[in-house]
Amino acid sequence: MYACKKLEKKRIKRRKGEAMALNEKRILEKVHSRFVVGLCYTYETRDFLCLVLTIMNGGDLKFHIHNLGNPGFDEERAIFYAAELCCGLEDLQRERIVYRDLKPENILLDDRGHIRISDLGLATEIPEGETIRGRVGTVGYMAPEVINNEHYTFSPDWWGLGCLMYEMIEGHSPFRKFKEKVKREEVDRRVRKDTEQYSEKFSEDAKSFCKMETKLTPFLPLVQLLTKNPKQRLGSKAGAVEVKAHPVFKDINFKRLEANMLEPPFCPDPQAIYCKDVVDIEQFSTVRGVYLDTADDTFYSQFATGCVSIPWQNEMIESGCFKDINDVEPEENMVLNVEEKTRYPVSKTKRSFFYRLFRRGLSY
C-alpha cells in the first residue's frame, strides 16, 4: 500500500509554488531513509501532479499531542520519537540537506508506530563549505538565526528538534500556547528574547536537552537545543553524533533503532482514524481565475518523470512483483498457418503496468 499526494495544478500556479513542488520532488528522489517518507513514483493527470509516497496511516504528531487525552506524551514516548527524528535529520544532513520546517504536523506515524519526516517543500541543499540565508519556516518554530535572516547551515533543524521535544512533553510549543492568539511579531520576539518555561513534566535529562543556558562551566559550555546562539547550540559542532550522545538518550540503542529492531512505545489502532472529521472541501475550494497553458508544460515535464526510487525498485524485485506486473496477459488472438498447421501469436505492442495504470489517472 502506498499513499498518493495530489497537488492541484491551478492552486500551484496561483501561489507560484512551482519551485517548491519541484524542489520537494527532487529532494525526495535523493534521500533514502527509513525516517523520511520515501518517493516511489511521480505522474500527472489533467488537473493534478501526483507523488506516490510511503503510506503513513497512523496520523501526525500534532493530532496525537492535542487530540488524544491530555496534551502531550509521557517522556519515554517523546524521547523515542526524538531519537528517530535525530536519525532522520542525520540522514538529511548526510546529503547536505537542511529541512527548516520541523513541526508536529509534518511528522507522520506508520502502522507500527514509527515516525517519518514529511513535506520537504522548504528543505534545501547546502553546497559543501557554504552557508545559506532565508527566512522560511513556520511561526513559533523558526530558529532565531532564521528570524534574523542570518547565514546558517543545519542549526535551524536542531532548534526545531528542541521545539518539538518541548511540545511533545509539555503539550504546547515553547513560545506560544496551543491556539493562543498572538501576533507574529510577538512570537518572533519571544523566540529571540524570552526563556521558555519548564513544568514538572520534564525530567532533568529532558530539561537539559532543550533548556537554554547562558552560564558556562569551567571547562565546557552548557549547550542545549534551544540555545539562542547557533554556534553554541547542541549539534553545532559534531551534528547528530553530538545530539545522540546526550544523556536523554541513554536508554536508546541507536544501532538497533536504525535497523528497525526497536518496538515503538505506541502502536496505532488499525481500526482507528487518526485525524479530525473533515467535510469534503473540494466543493467549495475551486480555484478560479487561473488557467493552464502550454507555458506550464515544461514544469510538468520536469515533475512527472516517474523516477522510481532505488529502495522501491529493490522491493519490487525481491517480492517478485516486478516480473508479475510487467508480464503481458496471454493473448487469444492467434493466426493459423495452413501449410504448417502451426499457431503463432499476433505481435502486440507491450505496455508496462505503470503506463496502463497511470494513463487512466489512478492512484494507490
Residues in the chain, how many? Answer: 364
Residue with cell 515533475: 303
> Which residue is catalytic, options 47, 60, 74, 101?
101
Spatial distance between the Cα atoms of 324 and 6, rounded to a whole number of angstroms: 27
From residue 275, alpha-carbon distances to 104, 130, 166, 270 in Å are 13, 40, 22, 13
Cell of 310: 532505488
Q: Are 56 and 110 in contact (CB under 8 A)?
A: yes
CA 127 to chain CA centroid, nearest Å: 21
Amino acid at 85: L
- For 318, residues 6+ apart whose C-beta sits below 8 A from its C-beta are none
3-state secondary structure of 97: strand
3-state secondary structure of 156: helix
| 60 annotated active-site | no
Q: Is 362 left (phi over 0), alpha (psi -120 to 50) or beta?
A: beta
Amino acid at 219: F
Q: Are 38 and 32 in contact (CB under 8 A)?
A: yes
Spatial distance between the Cα atoms of 91 and 103, rounded to a whole number of angstroms: 18
User: Burial letters for 306-330: b for 16+ Cβ neighbours within 10 Å, e otherwise?
Assistant: ebbbeebeeebeeeeeeeeeeeeee
Spatial distance between the Cα atoms of 174 and 141, rounded to a whole number of angstroms: 9
Residues involved in catalysis: 101
